[in-house]
Structure 1
Amino acid sequence: MKKILIIDDEVNVAVLLSKFLTRNGFDVTSASSGNSGLEYLKDQEFDLVLCDYRLEDTDGREMLRKIKTQYPNTGVIIITGYSDIKMAVELIKMGAYDYISKPLYPDEILNTITKAIETRQALLDSADEPVAVSGKPAKKQAPQTDGVVIGTSRTSKELARQIELVAPTNYSVIILGESGSGKEEAAKSIHLQSPRRNQPFVAMDCGSLTKELAASEFFGHEKGSFTGAFATKIGHFEMANGGTLFLDEVGNLSYEIQAALLRTVQERKVKRIGSTKEIDLDVRIIVATNENLGDAIGKGKFREDLYHRFNEFSIYMPPLRERGNDIILLAEYFLGAANLELGRNVTHFSAEVIECFLKYRWPGNVRELKNIVRRAALINEGSEISMKALPLEISNYKMPGFDYGHQQSSFNQAPQQSEVKEPRHDLKNAALEAEYETILKVLREVNFNKTRAAEILNIDRKTLYNKMKAINLK
């Protein structure tokens, strides 16, 4: 029988909750203050705590901090009034499972509690799961949520929980994280789990916009409104109307465009360039950045008022190096996708490759892992991906205490003669592979700044995008 502790100084609420939950098969204990609740927690283990945000001797923030510090495996749900909902969302970021707002409804309470206990049990069950390093295919498939691979680590499960929490709302969301960590995939997952799932999801790369084109891309224009406007263009806000607009690399927008964007977000209306007609908008906005917008605000590069418009809820995308065993689950998922795409039948990774993947730091994150696996599936011979199929920066990677034996200790050292791969006689594939490696190398060097990469490669930005699309490098 699952044990629940209710902490509420409103006696009538505590009694009603206790009776209701007891009837539904829970072992319930009630405390009338924060201090008495902590005393109960010292004496016995509880699966879940229902804590009122406003208590006479403390508040929900302090209670959550103490419970998660002293009893990290105990789930916490905050009971809140309507005026405290924004604070409750902040508490969820601190580790609370969810919140229940007053007035309390039996079905909502029971559903939230059941999910919280199931999630807690799943986390406990998976905390010490071993990773398959035997060289055989892992039996467990990488879990997915609306096409997004989530993983089984605690970090990934927390990410999935936050997405599930915010998805049904209309909150604007900022997704923070390094380049390649999967921010657009997280945005798609939020959209697909929201009531807007059947409406458009429109993604816009703000990093590729020039100051001159940004207004037209955002708001659209009428035919003849400026030189070169040969036809009417619908902007991204209009395209996303009714659905979700995802703005990637939002920190790259000019200050002037930020001002126009703020006005559109506030008024929920858009006007095409050259038009006097205002169009009503019903758009949810999700933005992503790999920059510290707080620093950008301090330097006068990003508007603080626009930041607060976007930051109704924030989600942190952990880098791949922090996701532990998920690296292997993701690699297996990408291998399956590569087999379908390329018509190959590569079944698994060698034990050495798995160990290498777990030790490597993955500066390009999930994007880099996907590209490495696709490349390996293309050039690999046989059913097992071996070290020979990995690029040198992966196969030669070293960490303290980690030795591949036959591998070289530095990226700059040439491989031994016995390790040199046999030349490929298919010139077309060899050329594509060389081009792939060059583009990826330059993108890494400039932290995936596509404008700078195009300059270094001596091609225009459109050509770079076309080449990235041709090799499926997103």
Structure 2
Amino acid sequence: MYRILIVDDDNDIRTLLTRFLSKNNYETDNVRSGATAIAWMRDNTPDLVLCDFRLEDMTATELLPSIREMHPNAAVIVITGYSDVKDAVEVIKLGAHDYVTKPLFPDEILVTIRQALAVANNHTEPVTEGKPTRQAAAKGFIDNAFLTGNSAQFGTIMKQVDLVAPTNFSVIIYGESGSGKEVIARQIHLKSTRADKPFIAIDCGALSRELAGSELFGHEKGAFTGAIARKTGSLELADTGTIFLDEIGNLSYDIQVSLLRVVQERKIRRVGGTKDIDIDVRIIIASNERLWDLARAGKFREDLYHRFNEFSIDVPPLRDRKKDIMLFAHYFLQLTNTELCKDVQGFEPEVKDILENYVWYGNLRELKNVIKRATLLSEGSLIGVRSLPFEIANYSRLQFDHQASADSTVAQERALGSGSFAGKLKAANIDAEYNVILEALKKAGYNKSKAARLLNVDRKTLYNKMKQFKEFDQ
């Protein structure tokens, strides 16, 4: 039985998740703070940690390194509001498997947990005779499908992939988190002469300074406290194949030195070992920052950068590839239909416009989560606006109203003149009040009664305040 630790400062959420997961045959424990979670993990081993992004004493970004250090094999799923999606992307970079957005839906959480545990344990659910399970079918669909996109940018990327794949060049892939860098790396591998050899992907952002050397190079028994047996490192596991090092800029200086030797001499030495091991591995790296800029800032070895910089590919963010958005949306819809045994056929025209004009801070990963949630909520054959998160469904209107409000404030200030501070103070107070109300609504999952309690006002007062702003006029 898998053991899940729930970390959330909301007692109701902890209670509901505990009951739901227990009914689905998971052993659960729950705590309300990051500090308590760390104390619990010193004496217990979770298979998965389900953690709210904003806790009473820290964020998931601050908690995750401790989870990784104490239990590197534990899967982590972050609970977040849509206002925190950009922060959730940072948690993914630190090694979280996925994130789920509020409001929470049981089926969505269950699917995400099953996927995370399958990945963490390097297996999928067993296939029943004659018919695969939902998770096995979904995984097969992911493994056998690759979406190239319709945009000119993606066409250029695929030409570059076809060009560099047959070579043994090292490749740097640049792009924002969630933009599909690992998918590009896998395609390079699959189109190379090493296609039938191992492909190992490592998220360097999830490796602590203490564990990075062991993870990459392996270690000998007794090399350090806790090294009770010899471990084969990822570079050795990838021998004759390809290793993909994502967010390589997070590696410490001493690990960069060791990696330079690998690139130059094609040899590794396990931590605590005395013998060199010859390896033949192709290295593909990825970063969301320009490594040359990091090198000039003294954060990345310049000689290592030049060794890697034999070929580079830039993956543009999803917001710059509007022609690809609906293609990927339909792809994720088909995936989710398979996972949830649903038969949603497509999207209403208004939804298409909304999806194509949203900014997608989390790129493909965020789009995938939105489609999963919308498919789960959809009751008809097409996904409608009601199934989309509030902030995405109303993004264009909110942006327009914010701009109109800003223009009005500027006009007021000009009319009053620079010497009139009373008008400026009033405008600033109104703007601040709007932001406080919006933040409370987000925190409450847009439940007005709960938002009123958070603001310590009655519901009628909140309604009267909201009427002052067009953004809240539903």
TM tier relative to shorter chain: 0.5 to 0.7
Q: Aligned-pair distance for 1:343?
A: 0.7
Deviations 1:92-144 (A, max 9, x none): xxxxxxxxxxxxxxxxxxxxxxxxxxxxxxxxxxxxxxxxxxxxxxxxxxxx9
* The one of 195, 198, 201 aligned to 1:200: 198
Instruction: Please point out which of 144, 149, 152 is paired with 2:150.
Output: 152
Q: RMSD of the TM alignment (CA)?
A: 2.6
CA 1:412–1:400 in structure 2 vs 1: closer, same or farther (change >3 Å)? closer
Structure 2 match to 1:309 = 307
**Structure 2 residue aligned with 1:412, among 431, 438, 441?**
438
Match of 1:255 in 2: 253
Q: Residue 277 of structure 1: CA displacement?
A: 2.1
More helix by share: 2
Distance in 2, Cα, partners of 1:229 & 1:336:
44
Q: Out of 184, 188, 191, which is 1:190 matched to?
A: 188
How does 1:361-440 map onto structure 2 within 5 Å? 361-398=359-396, 412=438
1:336 pairs with 2:370:
no
What is the identity, as a one-letter code, of the residue corresponding to 1:377?
T
Q: In the alignment, what sits opposite 1:320?
A: 318
Structure of greater Rg = 1
Residues 44-80 of structure 1: CA deviation (Å, up to 9, x unaligned): xxxxxxxxxxxxxxxxxxxxxxxxxxxxxxxxxxxxx
Amino acid at match of 1:391: P
Residues 437-456 of structure 1, C-alpha deviations (whole Å, 9 max, x = no match): xxxxxxxxxxxxxxxxxxxx
Partner of 1:357: 355
1:278 corresponds to which letter in structure 2? D
SS in 2 for 1:412: helix
Q: Which runs of 5+ in 1 are unaligned?
A: 1-143, 404-408, 422-474
SS of the equivalent of 2:150 reads coil
**How far apart, CA to CA, are the structure 1 residues paired with 2:296 and 2:440?**
46
Compute the displacement of 1:374 (Å): 1.0
2:396 is paired with a residue of what secondary structure?
Answer: coil
CA spacing shift, 1:413–1:298, aligned 2, 3 Å: closer
| Partner of residue 162 from structure 1, selected from 136, 160, 178 | 160
Aligned pairs for 1:236-275 within 5 A: 236-275=234-273
Q: For each residue in 1:368-426, what CA deviation from the matched residue of structure 2 results, as whole angstroms up to 9, or x when unmatched?
A: 111111111112211111111111221120169979xxxxx9992999xxx989xxxxx
Question: C-alpha displacement at 1:272, in angstroms?
Answer: 1.1
Partner of 1:218: 216
Q: Which residue of structure 2 lines up, in the alignment, with residue 91 of structure 1? A: none
Give SS of 2:202's match.
Answer: strand
Q: Deviations over 1:244-266 (max 9, x none)?
A: 00000101111111111101111
Asked whether the equivalents of residues 196 and 244 of structure 1 are also in contact (C-alpha less than 8 Å), the reply is: yes
Following superposition of structure 1 onto structure 2, how do residues 125-140 of structure 1 map, counting pairs within 5 Å?
Answer: none
TM-score where L is the length of structure 1: 0.54
2 CA distance for matches of 1:342 and 1:316? 34
- Paired with 1:147 and 1:305, the residues of 2 have a C-alpha distance of 37
Name the CA shift for 1:377/1:266 in 2 (closer, same or farther; >3 Å). same
Letter in 2 for 1:150: T
> What secondary structure, in the 3-state scheme, does the structure 2 residue paired with 1:291 have?
coil
Q: Does the C-alpha gap of structure 1 residues 349 and 233 become closer, same or farther in structure 2, counting only changes over 3 Å? A: same
How many residues of Structure 1 are paired with residues of Structure 2 in the alignment?
A: 272
Q: Which residue of 1 is the match for residue 282 of structure 2?
A: 284
Task: State, as a whole percentage, how many aligned pairs show the same letter.
Answer: 56
Give the one of 226, 229, 240 matched to 1:228: 226
Partner-residue secondary structure (3-state), 1:288: strand
Distance 1:169 1:145, change over 3 A: farther
1:367 offset after TM fit, Å? 1.0
| 1:146–1:193 contact (8 Å) kept in structure 2 | no
Per the alignment, do residues 384 and 232 of structure 1 end up closer, same or farther by CA in structure 2, a change over 3 Å counting? same
**TM-score, structure 2 length as denominator?**
0.54
Change (3 A) 1:146 1:402: farther
Q: Aligned to 2:322, what secondary structure does the other structure show? A: coil
Secondary structure of 2:438 counterpart? coil
* CA distance, structure 1, for counterparts of residue 221 and residue 398 of structure 2: 62
Amino acid aligned to 1:324: K
Secondary structure of 2:395's match?
A: coil
Paired position in structure 1 for 2:63 = none
Unpaired runs of 5+ residues, structure 2, are: 1-141, 402-433, 448-474
Distance 1:402 1:344 in 2: 36
Amino acid at match of 1:395: A
Distance 2:269 2:446 in 1: 60
